[in-house]
Amino acid sequence: MNTYNIISLHANPEWRIPAARWFQEKWEIPLEEYLTSINESIKGTVAFPQWYIVIEGQQIIAGAGVIENDFHDRKDLTPNICALYVEPERRCRGIAGHLLEHICKDMAVKGISTLYLITEHTSFYERYGWEYLCMVKGDDGEQMRMYKNRPKHTRKRIHQDEKNFLEKLKTVSKT
């Protein structure tokens, strides 16, 4: 049973300062940068930026954002999920997966079905239906893995197509 809630800062502006401080502590990006982006999401005049936190009681245990570009050279691959973080003692409980799914659904409601993210992880995001797209160069010059989400209905269709193909293959091999 989940004892946590995923909330959008757009709909819960009272969390803007604690969230900005929490993100700043995790990623060491100036507090003002987070506040500027979070304030823009609270205005609600554009689909992104958007910011989300996961709370347990009154404690932030995870969070992520959606911004135009997460400091990489592929400006055409937008918007990007950024700053995904789950507190170490809360990891391996599916919180990141639920947060990613929530963000994808919320962004789809806003008319954005394709999201991207960069990471150094090599198998984490695949568990949640993301697919490796390409390598990109970070603003620091380092190469990073770029992933693209695949909507659930597409994943189900592909899975069914694979099952149909295997069934046909079995039929052909029997003849």
Band of pLDDT at residue 9, cut at 50, 70 and 90: very high
List C-alpha distances in Å: 67 to 38, 78, 169, 170. 10, 8, 44, 46
- pLDDT, average across residues 113-137: 94
- pLDDT, average across residues 37-65: 97
- Residue 80 corresponds to which tokens in the numbers above? 């990007």
Give the pTM. 0.84
Residues in the chain: 175
pLDDT for 48 beyond 80: yes
pLDDT of residue 140: 92
pLDDT for 174 beyond 70: no
pLDDT of residue 158: 42
**Residue 153 DSSP symbol:** H
pLDDT of residue 122: 87
Contact 77, 45 (CB under 8 A): no
Contact 30, 48 (CB under 8 A): no
- pLDDT, average across residues 78-86: 98
Strand runs labelled E in 1-115: 5-8, 50-56, 59-67, 80-86
Band of pLDDT at residue 166, cut at 50, 70 and 90: low
Please name which of 63, 151, 66 lies closest in space to residue 117, comparing C-alpha atoms.
66
pLDDT for 114 beyond 80: yes
pLDDT for 77 beyond 70: yes
pLDDT for 164 beyond 80: no
Cα–Cα distance for residue pair 115/94, rounded to 1 Å: 20
pLDDT for 50 beyond 70: yes
Which H/E stretch holds residue 107? helix 95-109
3-state SS, residue 114: coil
Please name which of 66, 58, 61 lies closest in space to residue 38, comparing C-alpha atoms.
66
pLDDT for 91 beyond 90: yes
